[in-house]
Chain A
Amino acid sequence: MAAPELAQTDPEGIEGVRMTWLKWPRSKVEASKCVIPIAASIQPIRPHVDLQILPYAPLRCKTCSSVLNPFCRVDFTALIWICPFCFQRNQFPPHYSSLSQTNVPAELYPNYPSVEYVLHNYQQNYQNPAVAATPASPIYLFVLDTCMIEEELSFAKSALNRAIGMLPENAMVGFISYGTQVQVHELGFSEMSKVYVFRGSKELSKDQVLEQLGIGVSSARRQGIQKGGGGGPSPVAGAGPVSGITRFLLPASDCEYTLNTLLDELSTDQWPVAPGNRALRCTGVALSVAAGLLGASMAGTGARIIALVGGPCTEGPGAIVSKDLSDPVRSHKDLDKDAAPFFKKAVHFYDELGKQLVSQGHVLDVFASALDQVGIAEMKVAIEKTGGLVVLAESFGHSVFKDSFKQIFENGEQSLGLSFNGSLEINCSKDIKVQGIIGPCTSLDKKGPAVASTVIGQGNTTAWKMCGLDKNTCLTVFFDVSSSEKSDPAGMSPELYIQFLTSYQSSDGQMRLRVTTVSRQWVDSTLGNEDLIQGFDQEVAAVVVARLASYKMEMEEGFDATRWIDRNLIRLCSKFGDYRKDDPTSFTLNPCFSLFPQFMFNLRRSQFVQVFNNSPDETAYFRILLNRETISNAAVMIQPSLISYALNTLPGPALLDVQSIAADRILLLDSYFSVVIFHGMTVAQWRNMGYQNQPEHVGFAYLLQAPQDDAQLIIRERFPVPRLVVCDQHGSQARFLLAKLNPSATYSNQHEIMNAGSDIIFTDDVSLQVFIDHLQRLAVQAS
């Protein structure tokens, strides 16, 4: 990364919050002049070594129900605390009586802006005391596509086998396979393998699914009549209306053998595929059956549907393409021209499915492995709303799938920290409004004074649901400053407060509440830009712009992202640059902004804006990850990092420019989705000649090894696992690198620049230099 200033080790800190502006303009007008919106990127459950876990319940403000925090004013004698948000005076309860200046609880420590409470029977206890005592085991419902070739299926099956072996013993497991029809396997049936079969072409409501599985309301109404499972053990008495579900979901320890046998016998879908046709695959129905099945589980139980999809849905609701192979799967162009007849319907279907899952608090994860598209673009809405994971690979045998899939089930250090049933609440000072959130969550439609009139992403609320979240999950909150300028300027404090309350069920089943309270300062921009400029976080700003651009591209018809980015950049530059009017050469930019134009340059060229190079599925995939990943990861997506390795020098960052290519270097490019190790021509030749194996050239061996090791470091840290591309200069795979480099050398200017061992890129795209030149020109002339 070319930004040493930003290389702080932990920019998020214990708060897990980064904002575009550290200091906020006072008024709406001022805010809009800042061009880059006021937004915070939060990682609600980011682990931190200093995080305090408090084993007691939080104290809440009587009126605004914000939680006691270090920014409260405390009257130690009267045992009263004053809420910084609503200024309500609250009495400490008796058990805080020992409170004193020298004896304050952790939540009042100023250096613990984030604390986490463990909730015991919190909220649930009055509903279901019995259950709350023992946290419900998480449910893993596997949904496996069987419409694929034998080899792919065996890869998928072995991945599942391994996964099942890794599940915690108490995890509940269910299994659904599907092809032309959906087969729900009743794992609890001992006599023989037993499956419920649903037709792939018919949309089913949750109630229908439950009724047909014999665990519905209606069957419960029929007084203990347990259908279908005639032979099975009689229902466990007293297990409530959902007893039947135990036929389908069993503890991993109980059903591992059953599942393994079942997987052994599972074959590819038997329904014939007519020549010239795609296999009939009913992904949509399979997922809605899965969702329906989970609907019978206990409220509040964490559950994920883990779908392994091997191709496009062609049957029933959620179909994305006709079964006729001569109809290609929709492309961006089709979407643009409204020539994708299935798209809207499918999106609507998945939207509904997402809503259902959200209401149940369950997660949809999709692992798609196919050479063609499988419909991630349509499923995106359901995945994002539930906070699900998604991995796109080209084969179930590929490490992108295999290793990512494995990661889900890993424990300890490697664990993703998958949690369930998260919900986020935001309390903020007066005059601050919340426009919405971009990221993997769903609005809970909780209205309040802090709700802004304009909406971005999941808005119109101050509370959101995150069915699934993990330690990397990141949300972007957009704020608005209320225009109530006149509101008693005298009493106006220079501080603003925002409190994020995240409750969730951790992977070990505990209910937690993370309280993060941040304080920022108001600035009066009429006094000059200096304060604002100093508080600008370029990296966050770039990511926020990227997320916002992606969002607008999806939401606004005919939105021209490139123009929008350019215009914003120009406005920003004209506002915060130093220049003499109409003199481009005089233009300079404060270091706090210096990287931003380059980010924008790369964003313009990235897969997020230049979608036509990708399929809609890929675009959707990229965007999902852009929205849910941390700032630094997202920044890498926008502007990859490039490290250069050469003999006799230390590895070091290289310019993301074609000129960084040299015959005797190895480049390591990390563009998040792929990691490219690029051997210069000479290096490749040496390697091919086997010098690395000769003892006298051990240095070369190290040179070859170094980028590999670094790549592995990156890969190990990341979910989804990036694709590792190892290539040589002029090799076909080299395109993965070239596509990301600044085309400072192209066929049009190669003669000027060409130096030995370098390369050129065949493109008409402008280079960064040209871009900057234009920017300067435009920035200074703008009025």
Chain B
Amino acid sequence: MATPGGPRPRNFPPNYNPNALANNLQNLQVSQPNQQHSSNLGGNAPRPPNTTPFGQQPPSFAGSRPGPPPPGVFPRGPVPPSVQAQTTLPPNMVSTRPTGPPMGSQPPPPFASRPPPPGALPSSIGGHSALGSRPGPFSSSPLPSGPSAPSYTNTSGPVGNGPPAFASGMIQNGPRFPPGVGSMPRPAVGPPQSPTLLSSGPSSHPPQMRPGFGGLNSGASSTMGQPGPPFSGPPQNMPPPLGSMPFSAPVPGMLQSSGSPYGMQTWPPHPQQMVPPPPTAGPMQQQPMFGMPPPPPLPNQSMALSQTGQSKIDPNQIPRLAPSSTVILHETRQENQANPPPPATSDYIVKDTGNCSPRYMRCTINQIPCTVDLLSTSAMQLALLVQPLALSHPSEEPIQVVDFGESGPVRCSRCKGYINPFMKFIDQGRRFICNLCGFTDETPRDYHCNLGPDGRRRDAYERPELCRGTVEFVASKEYMVRDPMPAVFFFLIDVSMNAIQTGATAAACSAINQVIADLPDGPQTMVGIATFDSTVHFYSLKRALQQPLMLIVPDIQDVYTPLQSDVIVQLAECRQHLEILLESIPSMFQNNRTADSAFGAAVKAAFLSMKSTGGKLLVFQSVLPSVGIGSLSSREAEGRSNASAGEKEALKLLQPVDKTLKTMAIEFAEYQVCVDLFITTQTYVDIASLSVVPRTTGGQVYYYYPFSALCDSAKLYNDLRWNVTRPQGFEAVMRVRCSQGIQVQEYSGNFCKRIPTDVDLPAIDCDKTIMVSLKHDDKLQEGSECAFQCALLYTTVYGQRRIRVSTLSLSCTNTLSNMFRSADLDTQFACILKQAANEIPSAPPAQVRDQATNVCINILFAYRKFCATVSSNGQLILPEALRLLPLYALALLKSNGLRSDGRLDDRSFWINHVSPLPTPLVIPLVYPRMIAIHDLEEKASDDSVIPTTIPLLSENLTDEGIYLLENGEDCLIYVASSVDPNILQQMFGISSVEEISNQFILQQYDNSLSKKLNAIVNEIRRQRSSYLRLRLCRKGDSSGMLFFSYMVEDKTPSGLSYVEFLVHIHRLIQTKMA
């Protein structure tokens, strides 16, 4: 790393490239920087000395970083890696090289194309093959552009050698890296094993960021560097750290990007990441992370901001999120130690080597403090985010299913923990010690196996439950109180006047009609349907009938199901009836003059008809429920007229109006009925009250406001489709067990809790996350490991009863710096967010905001006080792992839920949306991704489909630009005032900004710009597993306001700018220090 340090000034450009492009650059060989890069990379390489490994690695790297965009979500396994690699390149390139033109134009297309071919997973599989594949892709279209791009970056000017160079270059470079880098990292980090660090990710980002902003990297950087002084801290620190310690926080000033410090770090990390996959990733980063082994290493620090420096602070240099574009290859355990997971938002491929994949369970801190004191000193919280059915990366190994037969899985007889790789077999394998409660059990006779010389069972590697962090057991009879339930889908559609007239009914019917084909096949799938206005209308779909029979339940105070059978019928038997019915419902009710909606009664009635089986109840609701059980009043209006009533009254509006729906929901949950709410409305519907039902039953709320049949139908369909087709389970029970010394304090998410230890989930799917907060009840031993086991007993859509068990074993530490080093930013922030969301309905907004800020400040303060080695007053010192915490905290303060000026329903929806939100989606929600799309033609082709992101700062928006911003839920496209009409025409089919209407549908026109835009949007949809509500915005009207409300780094009337916020925090910390 010494080299890196030195090089910086010049390096930057190169460095960036290298990191990102790694392979490509190498391939290119063109630029000198490459070598450096190579050296960096080498860091990783050292171990892998083999040529082959490299080959493999590179792809993996690529994959990991760029991952997010293309490969991340959807692409098939093979594709991603290669793609990623390529993709990475472009981003990096771009970022590093400010030069928009060359890069943009050529690269984009190629990259895009590439991804698919490379498919082969390099990481796990033979590197060679991977390499081979790459060339292929490149060669195809990308080659020309692709190469050029990288080359540019590296060298700066040169272009186009690309294609051939790549292939060869790659390989050659590969080897090189090892040497150079290798030396670096190792020294720094004792244990090279842990490869990818969070830091790495971030670091890489900064560079990228810069390019976007500054336009000229080098220029900017230099200038930056100067201003840097204010940051004085960094530069000084930087050099030393870099040299000696790979990780040490980079110095902002120095680097081009303020982030430079980060950037610096990044670099190292990148290489590491790249390297790590194969052997053990980058040493450098690892060190800090793993801290443990290398005792001394300082935790990562980041720069401080001096207050005085404020004015000079270049917003571009402060810590920012920068998506890495490579795919990270992550082994969950290495060297018999937990390997800290890559950032949740990054693209990674997990190899389960004992611990469960971080997709299923991540901890806020990857080393568990031994004592509660230590934990409280750190001010961080200890919690798990559990997403038991999370989607895996296509190239990951599928979860193995283990069938123990009648006897069921082996379990600890005391704590009932499931057998896992950390159960220690002793006494010739005759007994085993539970890693959770410490109890010694007899090994069941037929499970006995002798121990090998290493003290492990000889069959440990043959039995998935003994070598994998996540396995799925086939549940025996003992786990069934009844036969596993069939997959029941019950659709409940609002047909009141409003719903009919806005087209919501028609949209729902058509969506359902299309989705029927996607429902799981087989005799286990049952469907039912009902409509409601001021009465509830069921339909008997029995095959024998010539036509469906409509059954009306008119008593909406005290409902019941109109038939015992025939309301819910096997799909195979009623498909025709169902289709006819769905087609006729909108016309049948087209003259409906009933404005009332008996939502509560309808849901209850539907529930009663599903009671015997349980299942999913999908409700399409359009207006405020006005009659029958659980009817609501327009509290919003009352609230408004009552504005003077004070905050308490205002808060009440965010709470359910009464317990009726809650009581109902608990009953639903008891009978395994899960309610999903699709709210297609133009008005206030009191989501605060309604959402209790889905929330308690493991469902979720979909909110289309204001609903437009034109634009939202497609999203409705896609949401519904994903809802029924995504991996999911029914009648589930979940429990998390912890090693002695730690216990579960609380679960939070969308579920029903009847007994303190278990979580009842009428349904659970891949998008649902549960936060599990933990507490100490005893001291842990340093050097020991603390395990967490999440067991989810559920029924698959095909009616099999399964137990998914994920085990995560983390080492314990007594050292505060280790904790900071191993802190998981995404997870921590997710916890902060969820807690804040939970607080909103019960505390005044200001208080919630203060709390969120304080959490952030306390952590930074603890770090500053106990870990930071540099203690200049003028510096704001951030732990490397958590350096983005302030940014996210600021974004959180400005989020929908915490803004008190938002619509009530919007806020309530936000609160609900957050509750089960998976970790990878948490950050985009508060800090959306913004990209420029007006210049797609120019920069496009780097590698990833999705161009580099831009910080959410309105300064970054130009008058000629078109920007796309997405947060996983909404997607806003902002068209600035003087956009080239040509572009408008090509993209949206309109000729001027004035033609922008509220009703926007993204269409694909026959031009490359439009195609690219569509490709981008589709890619985002894939990544987010969400169709996104698209909206066109322009300056000067409400849509524009909406868009600008997402510019969280801006100064707003009610909030600080990012820089100000940093200063604000810094001041508070100083106050505390004093």
Q: Is the interface of B mostly helix, strand, loop or mixed?
A: loop
Closest A residue to B564 using CB positions? A271
Q: Are the CB atoms of B550 and A192 closer together than 8 Å?
A: yes
Q: What are 7 A-B pairs at a CB distance below 8 A?
A: A181-B562, A192-B588, A195-B562, A230-B591, A231-B592, A234-B591, A270-B566
Q: Which of B534, B546, B565, B584 contacts A227 (CB 8 A)?
A: B534
Closest B residue to A228 using CB positions? B535
Judge if B842 is at the interface, Cβ distance under 8 Å.
Answer: no
B550-564 residues at the A interface, CB under 8 angstroms: 550-555, 558, 560, 562-564
Q: Are the CB atoms of A227 and B551 closer together than 8 Å?
A: no
Q: Are the CB atoms of B563 and A191 closer together than 8 Å?
A: no
Judge if B594 is at the interface, Cβ distance under 8 Å.
Answer: yes
Q: How far is the CB of A636 from chain B (nearest CB, A)?
A: 48
Please encode chain A, from 255 to 281, with 1 for each CB lying within 8 Å of some chain B CB and 0 for all others.
Answer: 000000100010100111000000000
Please encode chain B, from 490 to 511, with 1 for each CB lying within 8 Å of some chain A CB and 0 for all others.
Answer: 0000010000100000000000
Q: Are the CB atoms of B550 and A198 closer together than 8 Å?
A: no
Instruction: Knowing A183-B551, A231-B590 are in contact, say whether A265-B562 is a contact too (CB < 8 A).
Output: no
Q: Are the CB atoms of A231 and B595 closer together than 8 Å?
A: no
CA–CA, A195 to B565, complex, Å? 16
Instruction: Knowing A192-B548, A265-B545 are in contact, say whether A227-B533 is a contact too (CB < 8 A).
Output: yes
Instruction: Knowing A197-B553, A271-B564 are in contact, say whether A227-B535 is a contact too (CB < 8 A).
Output: yes
Chain A residues packing against B (C-beta within 8 Å): 180-181, 183, 186, 189, 191-199, 202, 204, 208, 211-214, 224-228, 230-231, 234, 261, 265, 267, 270-272
Q: How far is the CB of B1012 from chain A (nearest CB, A)?
A: 46
Q: Are the CB atoms of A198 and B555 closer together than 8 Å?
A: yes
Q: Are the CB atoms of B552 and A197 closer together than 8 Å?
A: yes
Q: What residues of A have a CB within 8 angstroms of the CB of B514 in the complex?
A: none
Q: What residues of B have a CB within 8 angstroms of the CB of A224 in the complex?
A: 593
CA–CA, A213 to B535, complex, Å? 9
CA–CA, A211 to B534, complex, Å? 11
CA–CA, A202 to B559, complex, Å? 11
Q: Are the CB atoms of B591 and A192 closer together than 8 Å?
A: no
Q: Are the CB atoms of A226 and B549 closer together than 8 Å?
A: no
Q: Are the CB atoms of B550 and A194 closer together than 8 Å?
A: yes
Judge if B705 is at the interface, Cβ distance under 8 Å.
Answer: no
CA–CA, A205 to B558, complex, Å? 14
CA–CA, A225 to B500, complex, Å? 15
Q: Are the CB atoms of B592 and A199 closer together than 8 Å?
A: no
Q: What residues of A have a CB within 8 angstroms of the CB of B596 in the complex?
A: 225, 227
Q: How large is the interface on B (under 10, 10 to 19, 20 to 34, 35 or more residues)?
A: 35 or more
Q: What residues of B have a CB within 8 angstroms of the CB of A181 in the complex?
A: 560, 562
Q: What residues of B have a CB within 8 angstroms of the CB of A180 in the complex?
A: 564
CA–CA, A181 to B561, complex, Å? 9
Q: Are the CB atoms of B554 and A226 closer together than 8 Å?
A: no
Q: What residues of A have a CB within 8 angstroms of the CB of B553 in the complex?
A: 196-197
Q: How far is the CB of A623 from chain B (nearest CB, A)?
A: 37
Q: Are the CB atoms of B548 and A199 closer together than 8 Å?
A: no
Closest B residue to A230 using CB positions? B592
Closest B residue to A181 using CB positions? B562
CA–CA, A234 to B591, complex, Å? 8
6 new A-B contacts at CB < 8 Å, known A199-B555, A230-B594: A194-B552, A197-B553, A199-B560, A228-B534, A228-B535, A228-B552
Q: Which of B534, B554, B587 contacts A196 (CB 8 A)?
A: B554
CA–CA, A199 to B553, complex, Å? 9
Closest B residue to A197 using CB positions? B562
Q: How far is the CB of B505 from chain A (nearest CB, A)?
A: 10
Q: What residues of B have a CB within 8 angstroms of the CB of A213 in the complex?
A: 554
Judge if B704 is at the interface, Cβ distance under 8 Å.
Answer: no
Judge if B479 is at the interface, Cβ distance under 8 Å.
Answer: no
CA–CA, A198 to B552, complex, Å? 8
Q: Are the CB atoms of B495 and A230 closer together than 8 Å?
A: yes
CA–CA, A261 to B593, complex, Å? 29
**9 nearest A-B pairs in the assembled complex, by CB-CB distance:** A230-B592, A212-B554, A197-B562, A231-B588, A194-B550, A230-B589, A196-B552, A199-B560, A227-B594
Please encode chain B, from 949 to 970, with 1 for each CB lying within 8 Å of some chain A CB and 0 for all others.
Answer: 0000000000000000000000
Q: What residues of A have a CB within 8 angstroms of the CB of B986 in the complex?
A: none
Q: Which of B549, B560, B594 contacts A193 (CB 8 A)?
A: B549
CA–CA, A186 to B537, complex, Å? 13
Closest B residue to A190 using CB positions? B588
Judge if B547 is at the interface, Cβ distance under 8 Å.
Answer: yes
Q: What residues of B have a CB within 8 angstroms of the CB of A199 in the complex?
A: 555, 558, 560
CA–CA, A213 to B553, complex, Å? 9
Q: Are the CB atoms of B593 and A228 closer together than 8 Å?
A: no
Q: What residues of B have a CB within 8 angstroms of the CB of A230 in the complex?
A: 495, 500, 533, 588-589, 591-594
Q: What residues of B have a CB within 8 angstroms of the CB of A270 in the complex?
A: 563-566
Interface centre among A228, A265, A271 (most CB of B within 10 A): A228
Q: What residues of B have a CB within 8 angstroms of the CB of A227 in the complex?
A: 533-535, 594, 596
CA–CA, A186 to B551, complex, Å? 10
Q: Are the CB atoms of A202 and B594 closer together than 8 Å?
A: no
Q: What residues of A have a CB within 8 angstroms of the CB of B591 in the complex?
A: 230-231, 234
Q: What residues of A have a CB within 8 angstroms of the CB of B495 in the complex?
A: 230
Closest A residue to B589 using CB positions? A230
Q: Are the CB atoms of B564 and A272 closer together than 8 Å?
A: yes
Q: Which of A189, A228, A261, A265 contacts B554 (CB 8 A)?
A: A228
Q: How far is the CB of B596 from chain A (nearest CB, A)?
A: 8
CA–CA, A231 to B586, complex, Å? 9
Q: Are the CB atoms of B552 and A195 closer together than 8 Å?
A: yes
Q: What residues of A have a CB within 8 angstroms of the CB of B563 in the complex?
A: 197, 270-271
CA–CA, A270 to B566, complex, Å? 9
Q: Which of A186, A191, A267, A271 contacts B588 (CB 8 A)?
A: A191
Q: Are the CB atoms of B535 and A193 closer together than 8 Å?
A: no
Q: What residues of B have a CB within 8 angstroms of the CB of A202 in the complex?
A: 555, 558
CA–CA, A611 to B555, complex, Å? 42
CA–CA, A95 to B553, complex, Å? 60
Q: How far is the CB of B592 from chain A (nearest CB, A)?
A: 3
Q: Which of B533, B534, B546, B584 contacts A191 (CB 8 A)?
A: B584
Q: What residues of A have a CB within 8 angstroms of the CB of B500 in the complex?
A: 230
Q: Are the CB atoms of A195 and B550 closer together than 8 Å?
A: yes
CA–CA, A180 to B564, complex, Å? 10
CA–CA, A186 to B549, complex, Å? 11
Q: Which of B549, B589, B592, B593 contacts A195 (CB 8 A)?
A: B549
Q: Which of A193, A208, A214, A234 contacts B550 (CB 8 A)?
A: A193
Q: What residues of B have a CB within 8 angstroms of the CB of A186 in the complex?
A: 552
Instruction: Knowing A212-B535, A227-B533 are in contact, say whether A197-B551 is a contact too (CB < 8 A).
Output: yes
Q: Are the CB atoms of A192 and B547 closer together than 8 Å?
A: yes
Q: How far is the CB of A123 from chain B (nearest CB, A)?
A: 35
Closest A residue to B556 using CB positions? A212
Q: How far is the CB of A754 from chain B (nearest CB, A)?
A: 63
Q: Are the CB atoms of B546 and A265 closer together than 8 Å?
A: yes
Q: How far is the CB of B591 from chain A (nearest CB, A)?
A: 6
Interface centre among A189, A196, A211, A224 (most CB of B within 10 A): A196
Q: What residues of A have a CB within 8 angstroms of the CB of B537 in the complex?
A: 228
CA–CA, A180 to B555, complex, Å? 16
Q: What residues of B have a CB within 8 angstroms of the CB of A208 in the complex?
A: 555
Q: What residues of B have a CB within 8 angstroms of the CB of A226 in the complex?
A: 593-594
Q: How far is the CB of B452 from chain A (nearest CB, A)?
A: 59
Q: How far is the CB of B708 from chain A (nearest CB, A)?
A: 23
Please encode chain B, from 524 to 551, with 1 for each CB lying within 8 Å of some chain A CB and 0 for all others.
Answer: 0000000001110110000011111111
CA–CA, A535 to B534, complex, Å? 68
CA–CA, A197 to B558, complex, Å? 12
CA–CA, A214 to B546, complex, Å? 27
Q: How far is the CB of A219 from chain B (nearest CB, A)?
A: 9
CA–CA, A401 to B705, complex, Å? 62
Q: Are the CB atoms of B564 and A198 closer together than 8 Å?
A: no
CA–CA, A195 to B564, complex, Å? 15
Q: Are the CB atoms of A212 and B547 closer together than 8 Å?
A: no
Q: How far is the CB of A226 from chain B (nearest CB, A)?
A: 6
Q: How far is the CB of B279 from chain A (nearest CB, A)?
A: 65
CA–CA, A234 to B590, complex, Å? 11
